[in-house]
Copies of this chain bind each other. A is one copy, B any other.
Amino acid sequence: MPRETWKLEMTDTQSPPTLDDVARVARVSTATVSRCINDPQMVTEPTRERVDAAIKALGYTPNFAARFMAAKRTFTIGAIIPTMENAIFARGLQAFQEGLHDRGYTLLVSSSAYKAETEEEQIRTLVARGADGLLLIGHDRSQAIYDYLDRQRVPVLVAWTYDETARAPSIGFDNRAAMRALAEKVIAMGHRRIAMISGASRQNDRARMRIAGVRDAMAAHGLDPASLIPVEVPYGVKEGAAAFVDLMGAAEKPSIVFCGNDVLAVGALRGARQLGLHVPDDVSITGFDDLELAQVVSPELTTVHVPHRKMGMMAAEELVGMIEEKRQGVSQNLDANVVQRASVGVVSSDG
Contact = CB atoms under 8 A, between A and B. Distances in A.
A65 B128 CA distance: 8
Contact of A237 (B125, B237, B292): B292
A259 to B, nearest CB: 14
Interface in A76-134: 76, 84-87, 90-91, 93-94, 97, 106-111, 113, 122, 124-125, 127-130
Which of A59, A69, A108 has the most B CB atoms < 10 Å from its CB?
A108
A97 B68 contact: no
A61 interface: yes
Contacts of A43: none
Leading 8 A-B pairs by shortest Cβ distance: A64-B128, A65-B65, A65-B68, A84-B90, A108-B108, A109-B109, A64-B129, A65-B69
A292 B62 CA distance: 42
A129 B111 CA distance: 19
B86 A130 contact: no
Given A62-B128, A86-B292, 18 more contacts: A16-B153, A59-B147, A59-B151, A61-B127, A63-B69, A64-B128, A76-B129, A84-B84, A84-B94, A85-B90, A85-B94, A86-B87, A94-B111, A109-B109, A237-B296, A273-B298, A296-B296, A298-B298
Contacts of A10: none
A179 to B, nearest CB: 23
Nearest to A150: B59
30 contacts: A15-B153, A59-B147, A61-B124, A61-B128, A61-B148, A61-B152, A63-B69, A63-B128, A64-B65, A64-B128, A65-B129, A65-B130, A66-B69, A84-B93, A84-B94, A85-B90, A85-B91, A86-B90, A94-B111, A94-B113, A108-B108, A109-B110, A237-B296, A266-B296, A269-B296, A270-B295, A293-B296, A296-B296, A296-B297, A297-B298
A122 B266 CA distance: 35
A47 B91 CA distance: 50
Interface in A287-341: 292-293, 295-298
A287 to B, nearest CB: 12
Contacts of A107: 110
